[in-house]
Structure 1
Amino acid sequence: MKREALLDAAESVLFEQGTQALTLSAVADRAGVSKGGLLYHFPTKEALVRAMVARVIEEFDGLIASHDDGTPGSYTRAYVEATFEILTGEARAYRRWSAITAAAADPEQAEPLNEAMRRWHAPDPAGGPDPGNAAVVRLAAEGLWEVVSHDPGLYDAEQLRALRQRLLELLER
């Protein structure tokens, strides 16, 4: 069984049943492999959680990179686009992010995510018209992500589209 499929199984257990249910046995059962097969790839639960955290960071970095053209202000625009892609996409990936963040509650497990947050919320590398607006926009997008992860039905597709547009407009001021 491939490592990605094992991570998918772990994310499913975590999202559907919560952090207490995330055990190596539960993940092996969900993936349809022996516990030994899981241990070959992830010798501990901590290693499994680290791999899930690394995967969501890599995924978000990739989304940002796909929208960032390197022009002034483009990093923050890319951050907004990546956030809304996750919030409105088919997979509704924000749900698994929330679950993974909860699973990585101990400081050592959370450090890669903390480092990514420091990087994601640093000033726009290419500069931009207003670094303060850029910071506010990224924080607003982050806050919206948090709110939607707790209440997915709070905003419909049209409201999310309008919020995205408003955040992007703030960057132009």
Structure 2
Amino acid sequence: MSLANQRKKEPDVVRQKLLDCAAQILVDRGLANLTVQAVAEAAGVTKGGLLHHFASKQKLTEALFAEQLRNLDGEIDAAMAADPVGHGRFTRAYVRSTLRVDHTGPCPCAALSVSTLIDPALRQAWGDWYRARLQRHRDTDAAPELQLVRYAADGVWLEDLMAQDGEPPIDRQTLLTQMIDLTRKR
């Protein structure tokens, strides 16, 4: 009997490991290097094993994008729960999650966001998520100045992706402080 037949089958664990490895490859090496083979190797499964869980690279990317949106949702919900001020609460949470001052390196969401430019399915998923969030928080976060702050936060994602090796890092803490200040009613 081969080891494969003796190994305990844990499809949910394997699926999550594949997504985790895909996210790490995305952050470390970029979208162009996110291949089925690279993810399978990193997860310690065969290419066929990966394709059992995700029928194609597109399906893997869509699942990774959906997971990153769920993670972003969780971060935003936690930040909103800790914020006692209603006006701009969603925007402040969005900025904190986007700038990720307490994390090092770019968020997989930032790397995936580039793919929304060329992938209609991911663009639709992002747009649906974003519009639903804005609709849910329209009473507290519809002001134009809050929209500008969210656009600036998106620009930080772009900066993360465009930064060249050797460039000094952006001062995230200063940006965060200034952006949060802009969300306060005057």
Q: TM-score, normalised by structure 1?
A: 0.80
2:56 equivalent to 1:44: yes
TM-aligned CA distance change 1:79 to 1:17, over 3 Å = closer
Q: Secondary structure at the match of 1:33?
A: coil
Q: Is the 8 A contact 2:18 2:43 kept in 1?
A: yes
Counterpart in the other structure of 1:7: 19
- Unaligned regions of 5+ residues in structure 2, if any? 1-12
Counterpart in the other structure of 1:75: 90
Size of the alignment, in residue pairs?
167
2:38 equivalent to 1:26: yes
- The structure with the largest alpha-carbon Rg is 2
TM-aligned CA distance change 1:163 to 1:122, over 3 Å = farther
Q: Structure 2 matches for 1:44-63, cutoff 5 A? A: 44-63=56-75
Q: Is the 8 A contact 1:11 1:52 kept in 2?
A: yes
Per the TM alignment, residue 121 of structure 1 is displaced from its structure 2 partner at its CA by: 5.1
- Unaligned regions of 5+ residues in structure 1, if any? none
Q: TM-score, normalised by structure 2?
A: 0.75
CA distance in 2, matches of 1:160, 1:109: 27
| Deviation per residue, 1:136-160 (Å, 9 max, x gap) | 111111112211232175445xx22
Calculate the aligned-residue CA RMSD, in Å: 2.6
Per the TM alignment, residue 20 of structure 1 is displaced from its structure 2 partner at its CA by: 4.2
The code of the aligned residue for 1:57 comes to L
| Deviation per residue, 1:62-95 (Å, 9 max, x gap) | 111001137232111211222222x5414x342x
Per the TM alignment, residue 16 of structure 1 is displaced from its structure 2 partner at its CA by: 4.2
Q: Is the 8 A contact 1:9 1:30 kept in 2?
A: yes
Query: 99, 123, 128: which one pairs with 1:110?
Result: 123
Query: 130, 148, 167: which one pairs with 1:136?
Result: 148
Counterpart in the other structure of 2:162: 150
Q: Secondary structure at the match of 1:127?
A: helix
Counterpart in the other structure of 2:5: none
TM-aligned CA distance change 1:98 to 1:72, over 3 Å = closer
